[in-house]
Each structure stands twice: as structure tokens, then as C-alpha cells.
Copies of this chain bind each other. A is one copy, B any other.
């Protein structure tokens, strides 16, 4: 049995006690942008219930064009007003460089990605960079509550980046 099949069996159990449907717009009017890291259970970390917040995630929790797209849709069409950014300690993005990663792909398959891998050497600096990209975008209308945090994978605690 594949892992996917195992998780589908979990889903059948989840559906047995599921109560739905909830409304489409997030009840708490907040959007979270977090790293894809397996150790960050965003609903657990923030004490969120189903239906309360948009959750956007990618490698690093960085803000690229696709996060601007998602945040623009979140705020303009679905009414969110606050943004929470979450990076975390022991992040894989600290362990390589864009140049090295892209060179390894070139050597492996003969094609070099035209995109940035978005590796970063410093967590706090990259949280600030992600905040700056949001503040700099003309497509995100509400920017008065954009706050960035580093999740500590040892303690479970969010520490704010000033």
C-alpha cells in the first residue's frame, strides 16, 4: 500500500465525523504564509479551526509572485486583512545556495531552471525580505498588519521578527 492510499484511509475516518459546509470567506479574515516544512502544523501552531484562515505554503515560506497572486485573491475577493508570515529554525533553505541547486539540476537533466530557488542564509533577514516584498506590491490592498515570525521546531513557539 502506498503512503497516499494510507492517507486516503485516514481521510475516510476524518469524513465520518466531519461537519460541513462552512462559509467560503475565512472567518478570522487572516492569511498565513508559511514554509512547507512537515513539522509546521499551521492549524495546531496557531490554534486555528477549519474555516478561519487562508493558509499559503511553499519551500521557505518566501513571498514570490505566486504568494502575491494568492494574497491578492485572498484580500480582494475573500476579505482577509491581516497577514502572518512564518519561517522556522532548522530550515532546509539554509543548507544550499541557488547557484549550487540549479547547477545540480543542470548536471542531472540538462536544463537549468529559469526561476530562483529562493535559498537564504539568514532566517530573520528573509522574513524581513518577505515582509518587504508584500509592502512593495501594488496588488495587495491591506498592509497595516503584516507580521513575520520564526517558528522554533524545538519548542513549538513563534518568535516575532522585528
Contacts and interface: CB of A to CB of B under 8 A. Distances in A.
A7 B48 contact: yes
A83 to B, nearest CB: 9
Given A30-B3, A155-B18, A105 B72 contact: yes
A154 to B, nearest CB: 4
Interface string A68-86: 1110111011100010100
A52 B38 contact: yes
A125 B3 CA distance: 25
A58 interface: yes
B69 A67 contact: no
User: So how many copies of this chain end up in the complex?
Assistant: 2
Contact of A70 (B2, B58, B157): B58
Given A22-B39, A24-B90, A24-B92, 17 more contacts: A8-B158, A11-B47, A13-B47, A14-B45, A14-B46, A20-B155, A27-B38, A36-B70, A41-B50, A56-B57, A59-B74, A69-B115, A69-B118, A73-B101, A77-B92, A109-B138, A111-B138
Interface of A: 2-4, 6-8, 10-15, 18, 20-22, 24-31, 36-48, 50-59, 64-70, 72-74, 76-78, 82, 84, 89-90, 92-93, 95-96, 101, 104-105, 108-111, 113, 115-118, 138-139, 141, 145, 147, 152-158
